Amino acid sequence: MLTAYIQAAHVEDPGDEEPAATRERLKDRFPRGATRRMTQLGLLVGSVMEPLAPTENDTLVYASEYAESRALEGFLDSFPSASPTLFQTSIHPSAVQQFLIQRQQAVRTFFPMTGRENLVAHALQVALLADTPRSLVCGGEERGTWLLQNGVASARTFAFSLSLTKEPGNAIGELSLSETDPAPGELNLLRFFQALRDREPLLLNAAPALRLTLSWR
pLDDT in tens, 104-138: 888 889 999 988 789 999 999 999 999 999 999 99
φ/ψ bin of 140: left (φ > 0), alpha (ψ from -120 to 50), beta (otherwise):
left
What kind of fold does domain 2-216 have according to CATH?
A: Peroxisomal Thiolase; Chain A, domain 1 (3.40.47)
Distance CA 83, CA 76 (A): 9
3-state secondary structure 70-123: HHHHHHHHCCCCCCHHHHHHHCCCCHHHHHHHHHCCCCCEEEEECCCCCHHHHH
| pLDDT tens profile 11-46 | 999 988 998 999 999 999 888 778 877 889 999 999
| pLDDT at residue 154, rounded to an integer | 79
pLDDT category of residue 86 using cuts at 50, 70 and 90: low
- Long-range contact pairs involving 19-27 (C-beta distance under 8 Å, separation at least 24): 19/70, 19/142, 22/157
H or E stretch including 163? strand 157-165
Checking if the pLDDT of 3 tops 70, the result is yes
CB 81 within 8 A of CB 130: no
Buried b (16+ CB within 10 A) or exposed e, 116-134: eebbbbbbbbbbbebebeb
| pLDDT at residue 92, rounded to an integer | 63
- Percentage of the chain modeled with pLDDT above 70: 94
pLDDT, the chain, mean:
88
Question: Is the pTM here over 0.85, yes or no?
Answer: yes
Distance CA 140, CA 146 (A): 19
CB 147 within 8 A of CB 216: no
- The residues spanned by each domain of the chain are 2-216
| pLDDT tens profile 132-163 | 999 999 999 998 877 778 787 778 999 999 99
